């Protein structure tokens, strides 16, 4: 549905929303949540709980991303006159996600290329960005299905669980897992999200 202006609006919206989501929703919200937890359990205890801090950060980052994509879906859907057919709803979900995910991948790959990483490390970065794009598109399909089925809350929670699993791979890196294993885990989660999410859309046409 590339001929529809709403799709191009969605693509641009995703690019514009990315810095806002990263700076405010991700960074500020994660810091606020971790500060709240530290006040209750103690800052020294938090420093020793790398896995727990990583899990909290992954949950916040995941649902911040899904909330951002949901808001973008609603905005693009409004611009497209609140579509109800599966193709239009899917386009309203995928267009801003494409702008969002591809902008994120562009930044990550640019930094990796500028850092002059060894070939294996560069291959890991490329593979991980493909996995992240797959995950973002897969969860966008889930949000579209939630709109079509009238069960947005359930599908947002499902998308957030898969997104949390992907985001937690950053902690696996921090605690010393081999980069190849971390990349494989992220690729499996991304492929699962994409294949599962994509399979939900044809069901909406029946």
pLDDT tens for each residue of 158-174: 999 999 999 999 999 98
Q: What is the pLDDT of residue 26?
A: 77
Work out the average pLDDT over 109-128. 90
Asked whether the predicted pLDDT for residue 98 surpasses 80, the reply is yes
CA-wise closest residue to 25 among 51, 73, 57: 57
Predicted TM-score (pTM) of the model is 0.87
The CB density around residue 47, as the number of other CB atoms within 10 Å, is: 10
Model pLDDT for residues 23-71, shown as the tens digit of each residue: 777 777 788 887 887 777 766 666 667 888 889 899 999 999 999 999 9
Give the contacts of 104 (CB within 8 A, at least 6 positions apart).
18, 129, 132
Q: How far is CA 42 from CA 33, 34, 87, in A?
A: 13, 11, 50
The pLDDT assigned to 206 comes to 38
d(CA 63, CA 150): 19
* Average pLDDT of the segment spanning 135-162: 93
- The alpha-helical segments, DSSP class H, found in the chain are 5-20, 29-41, 43-48, 50-79, 86-114, 119-149, 152-167, 169-174, 179-203
Alpha carbon distance, N-terminus to C-terminus of the chain: 20
SS3 assignment, position 168: coil
Q: Of 8-12, 33-37, 184-188, which range is least confident? A: 33-37
Q: How far apart are CA 74 and CA 203, in angstroms?
A: 21
pLDDT at 47: 67
Distances in whole angstroms, Cα of residue 115 to Cα of each of 2, 101, 108, 125: 36, 21, 11, 12
Cβ contacts of 56 within 8 Å, gap of 6 or more = 30, 33, 34, 37
């Amino acid at each position: 549905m590339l001929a529809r202006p709403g799709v191009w609006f969605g693509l641009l919206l995703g690019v514009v929303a990315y810095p806002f989501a990263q700076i405010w929703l991700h960074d500020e919200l994660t810091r606020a949540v971790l500060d709240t937890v530290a006040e209750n359990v103690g800052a020294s205890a938090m420093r020793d709980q790398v896995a727990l801090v990583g899990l909290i950060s992954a949950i916040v980052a995941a649902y911040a991303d899904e909330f951002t994509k949901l808001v973008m879906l609603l905005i693009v859907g409004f611009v497209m006159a609140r579509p109800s057919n599966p193709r239009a709803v899917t386009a309203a979900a995928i267009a801003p996600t494409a702008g969002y995910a591809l902008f994120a991948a562009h930044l990550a790959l640019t930094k990796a290329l500028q850092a002059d990483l060894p070939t294996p490390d560069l291959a890991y970065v490329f593979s991980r960005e493909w996995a992240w794009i797959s995950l973002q598109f897969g969860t966008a399909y889930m949000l579209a299905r939630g709109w079509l089925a009238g069960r947005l809350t359930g599908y947002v929670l499902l998308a957030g669980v898969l997104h949390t699993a992907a985001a937690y791979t950053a902690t696996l890196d921090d605690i010393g897992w081999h980069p190849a294993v971390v990349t494989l885990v992220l690729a499996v989660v991304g492929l699962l999200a994409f294949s599962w999410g994509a399979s939900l859309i044809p069901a909406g046409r029946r």
